[in-house]
Amino acid sequence: MAKKGDSRDIVSYVFKETRDEKVRILSLLRPLKHPESIRPLLSVLNVSRVGFVEVKKIDASLGEVLVAMKCSEIESGIAIINPDSGGWVDPDQVSILFEQAKLNWKIMKDVPEAHEIREELFSLGESDENSNELVVPLDQKFNVQGIGVVGIGYVQSGKIRKHDQIEIIPGRKSGVVRSLQVMDDDVDEASSGDRVGVALRGVAEDDIGKGSVIVHKDSDSLVEIGSSTSRLRKAPFQRKSLVVGDIVHASTNMQFKVGRVVSIGEGLITIDWESPLVVRKDGTGVIILVQLDAVPMRIIGTIMDIDSA
């Protein structure tokens, strides 16, 4: 379906074509080590717009994936039923599970051709991006001899161009975009949805890392919070209730931050974060709350309407 790219805890695949003089790029991300680790799954969903699930069997791992999709507000997607040789999956059970997770996706009982899947994903991925604010969460970094520090991530919104003056959040470290690469090609700009390598001038390797976010200089689109009070919307199938003193993690913008619940009451939950949590100032963007030792479901829900304390 697509050309395999870099691979660590997430494998990326990219398909590129020119049609009617327009370039179309399809980026696919596949989390590794799930269900052993939930972080790669959530990191993928931090930057995704459309879901794509291959159903080999019905088990708790599939349930957690669907809950993660719903909590991440991935409302569009396709599921392909494709059990291993000799296996069988009941399509009716799959449909019921998706209904219970409140995901109105297209479920395919037969595996289509690769080009059919691509066209379906292209169609579902069409989006009217209404935010001009640059937000580029990073998931990798390198120090390349002769070039300097390079951060790799997805353009979540806005455009990034060569010679842009930028800041790294958290920390507000200033720098300049030295060069850009998309699919190993040098480009002058990258737009929402592109997986981009950003070579930075004036930024040290220690200034960035997984979960760092690139924004334009003096942008106020993001805010760093050390403590938050918010509403908690529970995940589908989640029966556990948090209590004061619980350790939780928040996943947003490629971050995975640890915090402690300090108060619960009147529909609100207050959490002190071990290091600043970077969130969008306008309240958009999903923040998923998880508890790593919760069984059988680690995803607690999403936190909304954050007030920083």
Classify strands 136-144 and 148-154 as parallel, antiparallel or unpaired: antiparallel
Chain centroid, CA 294 distance in Å: 22
Over residues 253-282, the pLDDT tens digits come to: 889 999 999 999 988 999 999 999 999 887
Distance, in Å, from the CA atom of 93 to the CA atom of 58, rounded to the nearest integer, reads 8
Per the CB < 8 A criterion, the answer to whether 269 and 242 are in contact is: yes
- Whole-angstrom distance, CA of residue 218 vs CA of residue 122: 34
Domain 3-125 bears CATH identifier 3.30.70.100: no
Domain boundaries, the chain: 3-125, 136-216, 222-308
pLDDT value at residue 308 = 59
The Cα–Cα gap between 286 and 44 comes to 13
Low-confidence stretches of the chain (pLDDT < 70) are: 127-131, 308-309
- In terms of CATH, what superfamily is 136-216? Translation factors (2.40.30.10)
> Kindly report the CA angle at 304 between 222 and 122, in degrees rounded to 5?
75
Residue 225 and residue 39: Cα distance in Å, rounded?
21
Nearest to 173 by CA among 204, 219, 137: 204
- Identical fold, 3-125 and 136-216: no
- The predicted pLDDT at position 129 comes to 52
Each residue's pLDDT tens digit, 181-240: 987 889 999 988 788 999 999 999 999 988 899 999 999 989 999 999 999 999 999 999
The domain made up of 222-308 has a fold known as Elongation Factor Tu (Ef-tu); domain 3 (2.40.30)
Beta bridge partners of 108: 80
Neighbouring-strand partners of residue 277:
225
Using CB atoms within 10 A of its CB, is residue 191 exposed (0-12), middle (13-18) or buried (19+)? middle
pLDDT at position 131, please?
62
Q: Token pair of 45, please?
A: 């969903």
